[in-house]
A and B are shown apart, each in its own frame.
Chain A
Amino acid sequence: MQTTITVNGQARALDIDPRTTLLDALREHLRLTGSKKGCDHGQCGACTVLVNGVRINSCLSLAVMHDGDQVTTIEGVGTPEALHPVQTAFLTQDAYQCGYCTPGQICSTLGLLRELEAGVPSQETPAGARPVLSDAEIRERMSGNICRCSAYPQIVAAIRDAAGSMA
């Protein structure tokens, strides 16, 4: 099937098997292997990308459903030579070990920061209040991103750092 997805600002025309997930389209067809496959079932968050600015699990979505969408993957966030502030914060706080969950954590962080900016509440947000960047908010909102190396405290520290440096 023909589909065109804008990935990291570039329109990419694909002729793709309709069974292909967005994650496999990115990894196997566009060779953007920064998005990881940890479960293929929406249970781990390793495949998190931003679609039109909103974070999703790309393994739970078919590529052909994203015709015309703007997709941002970790490759579109920064490069080793020019890191995004969130990437720098993950590096300096050691918010990863094996690194396999990391692109998902970073994309998820970008989604989280936008949600807070937009005032989207979570279970940790007091009723009627605007959410603030508390540790409890971060922990709640990042719980869809499993890190088996368990860099959780470092991830919270990195997100705080990044939010500070981006403010």
Chain B
Amino acid sequence: MSSVHDWTPTNPVKENRSGLIGKPVDRYEGPLKVTGTAPYAYEVQTPSPPAYGVMVGATIATGRITGVDIAEAEATAGVLIVWTHLNAPTQAPRGTKVHPRSSAGSKPALENDRVTYFGQPVALVVGETLEAATAGAHRVKLTYAEDHPDVDFRARLDAAVSPVGEEDVEIGNFARGFTESPVQLDQTWHTPIQNHCQMEPCASTVWFEGGKCVAHTSVQMVKPAQHGLAETIGIPRDDVHLMTRYIGGGFGGKGQTYDDLVLAALAARALGRPVKVAFTRQQMMHGTIHRPATVMRVRLGAEKDGRLNAMSMMTWTHCHRDGNFTEHASNFSRALYAAPNRLTGHRLVKLDLPGAGPMRAPGEASGTLSLECAMDELAEQLGLDPVELRIRNEPPTDPENGRPFSMRQLVRCLREGAQMFGWDRRLPTPGLVRDGRWLVGMGMAAAIRGNFLLPAKCSFTVDADGVITVKQGMTDIGTGTYTVLAQIAAETLGVPLGQVRVEIGDSELPPAPGSGGQFGAATAGSAALAAGQNLRTAIAELATGDEASPLFGGRPVDVTFQDGLVAIGNRSEALAELIRRAAPEGLTVEGEIRPAADAREWSQQTYGAHYCEVGVDPVTGEVRVRRMLGVFAAGRILNAKTARSQLTGGMIWGVGSALTEGNAVDPRYGSLINQDLAQYLVPVQADIGDLEAIMLDEVDDKANPMGVKGVGELGNSGAGAAVANAIYNACGVRVRDYPITPDKLLAGLIARGL
């Protein structure tokens, strides 16, 4: 059985002799991205001219398709295929796994006459050109028998039940602890549906080569995409070669594939030519998953000195009628603050809305928008500084299970952030600071996000030029995977970065779980380190066993790798020379990482603290983020440049969730009202003031052999709450219904006579 103690010995990443680990090097694939030469899924060169597929979405949320008229669409010039459920090719029934170890089952498109969400793809039109297909798609005429959609989340809270297999978690006696607390807070927060809005809409380009299906798509996880497609179209898994080399943003929304992939494959097979299918921006809103709305009730019971006696966080949320996804917004609170009496849980209601699913920092992103504001309110009730309140409730061990923390530097993040930001200049009484027409305030919040390690493999090859090639079925969704894998390879083999090639995003490469849950760098990187160490061993054995090498006769364990040389003491030769002579075909080895069996004996999290200053216009209710600082502790940082970008990106997502992002539901049609980027408002350049992210020194030796943890979601956790708390400090108005738009603020501002 593996153990975290197996990770204790030193390794090339820990030694960091060349200093490449942590170094803020530019992105490996950067030159391609800044010149527009990185081909995303819709842009790959096809072996022959492609046909273009356009999907048609349902205009009802629930019911049946009763009439299909495709004559006009089929008669449209340039149209090659018009499919609905009536004439689409046969696919394996939903969930089929012919291969028992498939990581995803069949997901048929145009499955039957049943519509279960607004915008569900119900027809495909393929044409010679995009214009022909689009014209044809407009001429598909469908009639429906519509049922009344059950989509009003807040009206359906009574129908919510515990998610299958889940129970509330109670420690101590919450009700008694709360009742007996001299200071109490009991408030409810609302968050809306949010959409990922990746800049690249989901897209697939597929063709067949011999019997083999070559599929390029935009997806965060390679293997389930490959397996799911093979199962759906009924071919062996190895006959699908799935690639996802460049991905225009994922954020959880591309953790699964959508109908574009299956439809492109079916059409390519039917036409015997490449087919490209992309979602339109409007189709992305309904046709892919979203972060579901929540209602969160937070109760805090404290002593007069601020110590919590009782803490409860209950979340109500929703998912698709046939789904079971739960937004676990209460979970993070289980590890954050000490309190002897605790109650947390979730309630789920199934609705006729599109699929709910994970979106950047699932759980924490929504959850911190309530608890971290509740802490701010409690601090005010107690007359305590919000930073001090958090420090007073710092638990010595995990407050739910008593496990030791693998590494917890939350207090350091809070203190250093406060100092760097100038928190001591904040006036606790709201509404006292003016700057011209602006009311100015400061707010803060804590950040927390779990840390995970998953199984992964990786291969390393050294060739006769001394070039190291890293191969892994991993993805880079903008996170920096290409770059950190190159750094690990260069550091491990002691070669310059320019001598490393990285190939990822391909189902034929050693499998890795992909990008999600901020486990990517730790998981993929640890497998790469293992492969690198195995390659070092193979090279060391080669050198010490080769009579022509100056290292001949030495002990393999004494061989060092630096500056492109293999050496034992002052005997050395160039790595390329050794390989050219002794292994001219090159050497390839694999490496593997598995989670340690005892890793869960520690509570493993990443932490941070956000500080924010906003201006509120008391006349218009407009909010401007003036400056923002995040201080984070997330294990060893592999690349200070790309990690910082991940963190600042996450912080800006927090700004969006606090101020602008939300998708209202139209209860008449079961649709989302904001269907494009002009109505669903993600932050733009002018919304963001001075913003900085600082990373504390840290190595978490319980996390993985490198001591790294993730940063992709941490920056998002708590960021929106810091904005909301700053708004209150600026103007004295609490809005507990996100996003905090001017209309909601104005009501409070008027009530306060401002």
Shortest CB–CB separation between residue A4 and chain B, in angstroms?
A: 20
The answer to whether A143 touches B249, judged by C-beta atoms less than 8 angstroms apart, is no
Q: Does B537 contact A (CB under 8 A)?
A: no
- Residue A145 lies at the interface, judged by CB distance under 8 Å to chain B: yes
Complex contact B685–A91 (CB within 8 A): no
Q: Is A130 in the interface zone, CB < 8 Å from B?
A: no
Q: Does B478 contact A (CB under 8 A)?
A: yes
Interface presence of A13 (CB below 8 A): no
B129 sits at the interface (CB 8 A): yes
> Which of B22-30, B224-232, B430-438 is found at the contact surface with chain A?
B22-30
Given A17-B131, A46-B199, A98-B478, does the pair A33, B683 have CB atoms closer than 8 Å?
no
Closest to B650 in A: A150
Q: What residues of chain A lie closer than 8 Å to B32, measured between beta carbons?
A: 80, 99
Given known pairs A33-B43, A98-B248, A143-B686, the reply for A153 and B691 (CB within 8 Å) is: yes
In the complex, chain A residues 105-130 whose Cβ is within 8 Å of any chain B Cβ: 106
Residue B499, interface by CB 8 Å = no
A75 in complex: contacting residue of B26, B35, B248, CB < 8 Å: B35
Q: Which residues of A contact B645 (CB under 8 A)?
A: 94, 97, 149, 151, 154
**Closest residue of A by beta carbon distance from B278:** A37
- The closest CB in chain A to the CB of B648 belongs to A153
Distance of A75 Cα from B199 Cα, bound (Å): 20
Q: Which residues in B have their C-beta under 8 angstroms from that of A146?
A: 199, 677, 682, 684
Q: Which residue from chain B places its CB closest to the CB of A46 in the assembled complex? A: B199
Q: Is B497 an interface residue (CB 8 A)?
A: no
Q: Does B246 contact A (CB under 8 A)?
A: yes
Check A38–B37 contact: CB distance below 8 A.
no
**Binary per-residue interface labels of chain A (128-156) against chain B in the complex, 1 for a CB within 8 Å, 0 otherwise:** 00000000001110111111111111111
> Distance in Å from the Cβ of A50 to the closest Cβ of chain B?
13
> Do A99 and B29 touch across chains, with their CB atoms under 8 A apart?
yes
Are B652 and A150 touching (Cβ within 8 A)? yes
B549 at interface, CB cutoff 8 A: no
**A77 adjacent to chain B (CB < 8 Å):** yes
B35:A79 contact, CB within 8 angstroms: yes
Question: Quick check: B36 and A91 within 8 Å, CB to CB?
Answer: no
- CA–CA, A145 to B199, complex, Å? 10
Smallest distance from the beta carbon of B49 to chain A beta carbons, Å?
Answer: 10
Is A94's CB under 8 angstroms from B642's CB? yes
Residue from B45, B129, B247, B644 having most chain A Cβ neighbours under 10 A: B129
CB-defined contacts of B313 to chain A, threshold 8 Å? none
A100 lies within 8 A of B249 (CB): yes
| Residues of A with C-beta under 8 A to B677 | 38-39, 41, 43-44, 146
Q: Is the CB of B34 within 8 A of A83?
A: yes
Report which of B134, B248, B685 forms a contact with A99, defined as CB distance below 8 A: B248
How distant is the Cα of A37 from the Cα of B251 in the complex, in angstroms?
Answer: 19
Residues on A with C-beta less than 8 A from B198 are: 98, 100, 148
Range of interface residues on chain B?
Answer: 35 or more
Number of A-B residue pairs with CB-CB distance less than 8 Å in the complex they form: 193
Most buried by B among A31, A102, A152: A152
Name the A residues within 8 Å of B238 (CB-CB).
Answer: none
Specify which chain A residues have a CB less than 8 angstroms from the CB of B678 in the assembled complex: 41, 43
Asked if B130 is at the interface (CB within 8 A of a chain A CB), the reply is: yes
Instruction: Decide if B30 touches A91 in the complex (CB within 8 Å).
Output: yes
Distance (whole angstroms) from the CB of A33 to the closest CB of chain B: 4
Residues in chain B near residue A58, CB distance under 8 A? none
Residues of B within 8 A of A67 (CB): none
Q: A100-B199, A148-B249 are in contact. Are A43 and B676 (CB under 8 A)?
A: yes
Once A33-B39, A100-B200, A153-B648 are accepted as A-B contacts, the answer to whether A94 and B685 lie under 8 Å apart by CB is no
Tell me if B688 and A139 are in contact (CB < 8 A). Answer: yes
- CB distance B130 to A24 under 8 Å? yes
Q: Which A residues between 33 and 66 are near B, CB-CB below 8 angstroms?
A: 33-41, 43-44, 46
Closest to B691 in A: A153
A71 touches B (CB below 8 Å)? no
Most central of B38, B246, B250, B682 by chain A CB within 10 Å: B38
Chain B residues with Cβ below 8 Å from A145 are 684-685
Q: Which of A32, A102, A155 contacts B685 (CB 8 A)?
A: A155
Q: Is A92 an interface residue (CB 8 A)?
A: yes
Closest to B640 in A: A94
Nearest CB in chain B: distance from A37 CB, A: 8
Interface residues of B in 498-537 (CB under 8 A from A): none
Contact (Cβ within 8 A) B248 A34: no
- The answer to the question of B721 belonging to the interface, with a C-beta cut-off of 8 Å to chain A, is no
Taking the complex as formed, is A7 at the interface, i.e. its CB lies under 8 A from any CB of chain B? no
Contact A17 B129 (CB under 8 A): yes
User: In the complex the two chains form, is A149's CB within 8 Å of B31's CB?
Assistant: no
For chain B, residues 7 to 33, give those with C-beta under 8 angstroms from any C-beta of chain A: 26-27, 29-33
A101: CB under 8 A from chain B? yes
B28 to chain A, nearest CB (A): 11
Please indicate the chain B residues that have their CB under 8 angstroms from the CB of A100 in the complex: 40, 198-200, 248-249
Q: Contact: B249 with A90, CB < 8 Å?
A: no
Query: Chain A contacts of B247 at CB under 8 A?
Result: 98
Please measure, in the bound complex, the distance between the C-alpha atom of A75 and the C-alpha atom of B37, giving whole angstroms.
8
Chain B residues within 8 Å of A69, by CB = none
Closest approach, in angstroms, between the C-beta of B629 and any C-beta of chain A?
A: 12
Q: Enumerate chain A residues within 8 angstroms of B692, measured Cβ to Cβ.
A: 153
Interface string of B457-501 (1 = CB under 8 A from A): 000000000000000000001111000000000000000000000
Residues of chain B touching chain A, judged by Cβ–Cβ distance below 8 Å, are: 26-27, 29-40, 42-43, 45, 52, 129-132, 134-135, 196-201, 246-251, 278, 280-281, 477-480, 641-642, 644-646, 648-653, 676-678, 682-688, 690-692
Seed contacts A38-B200, A87-B35, A96-B30; 12 additional CB < 8 Å A-B pairs: A19-B135, A20-B131, A33-B42, A91-B26, A94-B642, A97-B479, A97-B646, A99-B478, A100-B200, A139-B686, A139-B688, A152-B652
A residues lining the B interface (CB < 8 Å): 17, 19-20, 24, 27-28, 31-41, 43-44, 46, 73-75, 77-80, 83, 87, 90-92, 94, 96-103, 106, 138-140, 142-156
Report 15 cross-chain contacts, Cβ distance below 8 Å, ordered by A residue. A41-B281, A78-B35, A90-B30, A96-B478, A98-B249, A100-B248, A139-B686, A139-B688, A147-B199, A148-B251, A149-B199, A150-B651, A152-B684, A152-B685, A156-B685
